[in-house]
Structure 1
């Protein structure tokens, strides 16, 4: 019989909060992490709980303790996905971290590829708006190719999607929300490994050919379960992407 599950233990919730700060770029490599005493004070938990939270992050290789300089973030390479950017915008008011830059590769109205028309529930042939971006990270280089898609009919209500300029850091989902009055409610991600196209390999500076990439398909739904945006992201190989903790029950 189905049962309501209990939440994760407190130390895992604390570890998860700090982990998210690291993965989305709020805490950069070399930044100091709050001490056990500070964590216990802020989260109103016992000191051993704070200790256990930091120990969890150490085991995951995200932080390390250095004699005389506290506990600091390690230089761990991870993909920053849509969920990280949404949460960062809520916490910091900007989607991209301070070590990231975004180059807009192109915008326009085009014929919808088959999988895009299907994802947006459009009858074919269909016309769609698109924004194509390349995201780079300081000291690393290109780390993500991101493409967003919407029905062409949305252009009347959200014309800035067709402007070859940044949306001011709020991101396309937040802009569509403000332009239409619709609110993003939840999202669904699908992920697959595949070979890079010639253009993708060039943009991501992949020297090996053929080169594998990780591809995400990201669909955002509003509160009425209608699609607000369909997006695709392509990431280079050799970097961790999915982090998840879950209970294992007998």
Structure 2
């Protein structure tokens, strides 16, 4: 079935987001040819210049490259996947990671909440919390590309006990919590900053102490505004994070 343009946002942006998600999920893998502007225009029932605009955005973000006389192809790139990316991916395709990466759960435990974690989850310092440490690994090089720690209210140990099992949850932790608690995750917030690898970061990422890294934090909240998951992550250098947004001009009365 051909996709349909929704009138809630610009048509070119919807086409771009659809292609971007397919690239992120490896439905369009490195080296694959991207549909032409004419094909996209036919599929989406839009003007060719609208489809071309979507292709231009992909190229500007480094996701694709155009080879004269041959077409547009998915570029080989290093992309840093945020919590938002993983949540979008699991809901759109049922997969969390692209084909060239996989995750390994290193540690799970029920521990007293350190002060920063307690503040992030809206708990008292020392309250029981679940901690899950995972590393994401590149399949080709078998080297770590990111390490993340997820923190949850300790009460989930009863309703969602698999959070304390040191194995991957194929559906992802957000979907697992939604299924076991009937809570719906409705919003998220990500932060990131350039940083230098501390000793523990360097050990897990297999880099030198002091190497440049990207440090991130994220919050996932439910419909009541309560934090369901708080995450902290570090990733190696030269992995791009991509954000898209709309700009609306305000009209004066």
TM-score by length of 2: 0.87
Secondary structure, counterpart of 1:27 in structure 2: coil
Separation of aligned partners in 1, 2:54 and 2:126: 53
- Give me the CA root mean square deviation: 2.2
After TM superposition, the runs of 4+ consecutive aligned structure 1 residues lying more than 6 A away are none
Residue number in structure 1 paired with 2:205: 204
1:244 aligns with 2:244: yes
Separation of aligned partners in 2, 1:184 and 1:205: 33
TM-score by length of 1: 0.88
Q: Give per-residue Cα distances to partners, 1:39-71, cap 9 Å, x unaligned.
A: 112211012221232123223332123356432
2:144/2:205 contact within 8 Å kept:
yes
Q: Give per-residue Cα distances to partners, 1:1-28, cap 9 Å, x unaligned.
A: xxxxx96542233223322332454432
1:86 aligns with 2:117: no
2:133/2:147 contact within 8 Å kept:
yes
Equivalenced residues, count:
243
How does 1:32-181 map onto structure 2 within 5 Å?
32-67=33-68, 69-140=70-141, 141-167=143-169, 169-181=170-182
1:24/1:85 contact within 8 Å kept:
no
1:27 aligns with 2:28: yes
Q: Give per-residue Cα distances to partners, 1:96-121, cap 9 Å, x unaligned.
A: 11111111101111121211011111
Residue number in structure 1 paired with 2:3: none
Distance 1:65 1:238, change over 3 A: closer
Separation of aligned partners in 2, 1:55 and 1:22: 15
Further displaced range: 213-222 or 62-71: 62-71
Further displaced range: 123-132 or 8-17: 8-17
1:26/1:88 contact within 8 Å kept:
no
Which ranges of structure 1 fall in alignment gaps of 5 or more residues? 1-5
Q: Give per-residue Cα distances to partners, 1:73-95, cap 9 Å, x unaligned.
A: 01122211111111111221121
1:193/1:213 contact within 8 Å kept:
yes
Separation of aligned partners in 2, 1:191 and 1:52: 29
Separation of aligned partners in 2, 1:112 and 1:70: 53
Separation of aligned partners in 1, 2:246 and 2:36: 26
2:25/2:93 contact within 8 Å kept:
no
2:114/2:126 contact within 8 Å kept:
no
